Structure formats: C-alpha cells, structure tokens
Amino acid sequence: MNKHNDSERTTHFGYQTVAESEKANKVAEVFHSVAAKYDLMNDLMSAGIHRLWKRFTIELSGVRQGNRVLDIAGGTGDLTRKFSRLVGPEGEVVLADINASMLKVGRDRLLDKGVAGNVRFVQADAEALPFPDNHFDCITIAFGLRNVTHKDRALESMLRVLKPGGRLLVLEFSKPGNPLLSKAYDQYSFTLMPLMGKLVTNDAESYRYLAESIRMHPDQETLKAMMEEAGFARVSYHNMTGGIVALHRGIKP
C-alpha cells in the first residue's frame, strides 16, 4: 500500500477509502473546521487528562537547556510552550503543522502567552520535513501520526532530521487492553464525541472522522515494529489510561 510511484493507490480516511492524493486535503478540512475550538474540545473529550499525557511526554523527552526540538503536528502549542521553557534562550523549538489554521491558532496562542524568542513556526508535511539531516535533539508528534497518509515515510523523515542519539516520542491514541474498557471507549467515541463536536463546534462529522481515525491507527506493537523498520533503536512504549493512549519512544542510532 505504500509504493511511492502509484498515483491511483487508496488509503483510509476514517472508515472511508479515498485516493491517497485526496487524504491530505480531507484531513486539512477537518482541522480548518475545528482549529478555533480544538483546545476546548480536547479538554472536554479527555476530561483534561490530555494534559497529563503531555506532561509525561515532556518528562520522558529528556529535553534540556540548549537543545533543538521539533514539535510536529504541534497544533495549538501545548508541548512547544513547555519545551520553550526547557531549552532556554540558547535552544530552539520548531512548531510544525501541515495545517495553516492550526499553525495560526498555535502561533497566536503562544504569542499571547509571551512565548516567542526561541520558537519558530513552520508549515510542513511530516512525510517530507524541510530540515537538514541530523538537526534535532528531540522530535515529538502528539495525536498527529494517525492523520499522516504514509506513516512509514514520515517516520523515515523524522529519523533523517534527528541527530544520532536523538529521541522521537509519538503520543497517540491506541488500543485498550481490557475488552470492557474497549467497549465503553467505543460507545464514548462514536456517540459522545460527535455529539460534543456538534454542540461545541457545530461539526459532528469532523469528530466522527477523528474517532474513526483512532480505530484505523496501528496498535502498540504494530507501531513499535514500524518505528524499528524505519531505523529507530531501543523502541519502547508506555500505555496510559488503560492503553487508550500510548507513548512510543525510539532513539536514532
């Protein structure tokens, strides 16, 4: 499904099958639609727990003064803001997002909070990152990998721009281990999430897509194998909230 030269290939957009060439535009439409209320919806949908998931990601990143960090699909800038403080004036954080609406919301929000000096904003596609080889000490992608058409290409691109010894952290919805939790989570995702989307953003369809995209994302072991296949070493993952979310970590050899 991932041959580079076949323009007629199809991929998943939630539960729909679409031409690969269409997926990026369809994902863009979703995030243009939800950008302004994205943070509010995250708080509502996760009861605020997404903040704890992100805090754990920061702790595991090992980022320190003077580091150069890339926050892919950085959206509204939660991780970027924390990294900006950690790397200090000698370091740099690049907030990258393929979606102009999300990038603008993130930039405005960070500027409002006085974060500016060591942060750059770049509109970029995770599959073809516009940065030099061996450039970053750490890369994070939080709740973004499932929206990428060719995850293998994105992982290879991330590996390329990491310094040897650099770390990739992938925070993403995953597969709960407990069947009862899984059933409850399905009910919540396909009933409450679109309903909240309708009430808060007047857009049930975008949130239905987000729920479906979570189900189509590789499970914990599959993503671990994909990271190893891309060339990452010492790949491990931590399940959070019963496996509803997993944090994968890999090192560039």
Digit-coded pLDDT (tens) for 4-29? 444 568 888 777 887 887 887 877 67
For the ranges 45-54, 78-87, 157-166, the lowest mean pLDDT is seen at 45-54
Q: Where are the domains of the chain?
A: 48-175+219-251
What is the reported pLDDT for 216? 85
Q: Are 95 and 74 in contact (CB under 8 A)?
A: yes
Mean pLDDT score across all residues of the chain: 89
Strands (E), the chain: 10-13, 16-19, 68-72, 92-97, 119-123, 136-142, 162-173, 233-240, 245-251
Paired sense of beta strands 162-173 and 136-142, if any: parallel
Task: Report the alpha-carbon angle 123-126-130, nearest 5.
Answer: 60
* 129, 122 contact by CB (below 8 A): no
Q: What is the pLDDT of residues 213-233, one digit of tens each?
A: 888 899 999 999 999 999 999
Please, which residues bridge with residue 12 across strands?
17
Residue 104 has pLDDT above 70, yes or no: yes
The pLDDT-based confidence of 204 (bands split at 50, 70, 90) is confident
Which residues define the annotated binding site? 76, 97, 125-126
Give the model's pLDDT for residue 238. 98
Check: CB of residue 92 under 8 Å from CB of residue 68: yes
Annotated binding-site members for S-adenosyl-L-methionine? 76, 97, 125-126
Q: Which CATH architecture has domain 48-175+219-251?
A: 3-Layer(aba) Sandwich (3.40)
Structure token digits, residue 83:
């990294």
Structure tokens at 4: 């580079």
